[in-house]
Chains A and B, each alone.
Chain A
């Protein structure tokens, strides 16, 4: 199952709950304000880095760029475009969106 997180970890618990309830091994895609969870040197970055041992992590390029943070992404998070988003939906089974 693909987990899509759309809210900032500084505003909502969407990412936190996703990390608690996503099956180990399942990929997590950060889009919209969710991309703030992909950034390094934040106080949520350590939790995200440790979750990366269990979950392949992706972040949407267009939303990183729109927010001026594309150069701050944690090493190892794969940046994808909308076509990559489609591939994840197709390849990884049903999806759940964390709002």
Chain B
């Protein structure tokens, strides 16, 4: 099954991105596809390569990037939400791309499920 994911919050302040990441990993492990994760609202901060978590904590920016690299997950950061929050190409982490809100609607249309993680 194709499962799309919407992440509404950034890393660290809320658990939403952690939950979404664990869910995506489990879905892929079970043989499902996660063709796209769309990052909206403060969720755009998941794509900030300047983020430097402490060494004994997880690094969600890198974890998402690795998931994209290993399983071809399309990580899309919303352009409008990103601009407001300073997430542009110069600070965009590996594995992410910036595009429009239409990519979220397309994921809703094209996936069998769209699961929201937020706060």
Contact assessment for A99 and B118 in the assembled complex, using a CB-CB cutoff below 8 Å: yes
Partner of A6, one of B1, B22, B25, B119: B119
Chain A residues lying within 8 Å of B25, measured Cβ to Cβ, are 82
Is the CB of B32 closer than 8 A to any CB of chain A? Answer: yes
Partner of A90, one of B16, B32, B119: B32
Chain B residues lying within 8 Å of A94, measured Cβ to Cβ, are 113-114
Chain A residues lying within 8 Å of B15, measured Cβ to Cβ, are 6, 32-33, 63
**Contact A95:B29 (CB < 8 A) given known A32-B19, A62-B22, A85-B23:** no
In the complex formed, the residue of B with least CB distance to A32 is B15
Nearest Cβ on chain A to B20's Cβ, whole angstroms? 10
**Contact A99:B23 (CB < 8 A) given known A83-B30, A89-B3:** no
Chain B residues lying within 8 Å of A33, measured Cβ to Cβ, are 15
CB contacts under 8 Å to B, within A20-49, are: 31-33
Interface of B is mostly: mixed
Q: Count B-side interface residues using an 8 Å CB cutoff.
A: 21
Chain A residues lying within 8 Å of B113, measured Cβ to Cβ, are 89-90, 94-95
In the complex formed, the residue of B with least CB distance to A84 is B26
CB contacts under 8 Å to B, within A37-94, are: 62-63, 81-83, 85-87, 89-90, 94
Chain B residues lying within 8 Å of A95, measured Cβ to Cβ, are 113-116
Contact assessment for B118 and A97 in the assembled complex, using a CB-CB cutoff below 8 Å: yes
Is the CB of B117 closer than 8 A to any CB of chain A? Answer: yes
**Contact A86:B118 (CB < 8 A) given known A32-B19, A62-B22, A95-B113:** no
In the complex formed, the residue of B with least CB distance to A87 is B30
Contact assessment for A97 and B26 in the assembled complex, using a CB-CB cutoff below 8 Å: no
Chain A residues lying within 8 Å of B16, measured Cβ to Cβ, are 6, 32
Contact assessment for A86 and B22 in the assembled complex, using a CB-CB cutoff below 8 Å: no
Which residues on A are within 8 Å of B, measured CB to CB? 4, 6-7, 31-33, 62-63, 81-83, 85-87, 89-90, 94-97, 99
